[in-house]
Structure 1
Amino acid sequence: MGLLNKIFGHKDDFPPLPAGSEAGDTITELREPLEELVHKVSGHLEVVPAEHEAFVFLGHPPKRFGIAWIHDGQVTGLREFAQEHGLSDIEMGKVLVKLGEAYQHASEMPRYTAEVAGKQMVVIPSKGLEQEMHQILEETYH
């Protein structure tokens, strides 16, 4: 059945993000940069809300994906992050592997859906995933 779902584009049906949740408040707070990202990216988006920021998996984690980081009202892609911190392609490849592993560690966490700018996205309200992603990025540029 899993193979047929992939072939015919079946999407997991996650419940809507509960109103008044901390994750929902973060999505509301970051609506403008999320809308900016939605207009730039046509693929699948999974948002990991944090305090006044969010990480967004672009594509199909944990294998083929990119990352955007919304902080200080701006969207920073992986390429900009690498340039800003002088990271090589090899170093960024290692970061992507670690981020994919972090995503897998949170595979059992509940997921929800939210709509931003007419696009449905998956929301993963996981403090553990958020902290692991922060740690990976901090270790990368320190």
Structure 2
Amino acid sequence: MSVIAQDVFMMAMTLMDEESQDGTFVGYPDEYKKKSWNVLTMLQAELLPPYLQPLGITNENDVIQIDDRTAATALPYGLAAHLLMNEDQQKSAFYNARYDELKRKRPAAIVPIKDVYGIVGTQEKVANPTTPDIDGGSFTDDKNGIYGGGEF
């Protein structure tokens, strides 16, 4: 299943309690539709990994590039927050907080770490250290262990 921009838009409209005039996508206000594609492009770019180039969303049939779970859960809240910013700041703040919460719950991608400094595998374990044994010994036996002559 691929989530398209229309799906996210309709979920956001449901969250905002906006109803279509005729029960279809066409009946939603055009002012919301015009804003939505740019906002969805921005939100999608924010959620994409840095190595992927985001594609602009220009109409309701464009496929969302992020994973379906995030597209169906987080994006509607982010879109609703942006669409309500000028109309109802309390609802907008709630939707934005929920968007941030869901954004943090996304699964992390496991990627190999590139050793750019050449550190991994170059460290040698010393079998017989040349440093003196400073632990152990007795205070009464001056030949057992090495003690620093600290000041009191």
* Structure holding more strand per residue: 1
Scaled by the length of structure 2, the TM-score of the pair is 0.27
Scaled by the length of structure 1, the TM-score of the pair is 0.29
Q: Which has the higher contact order (CA 8 A, sep 6+)?
A: 1
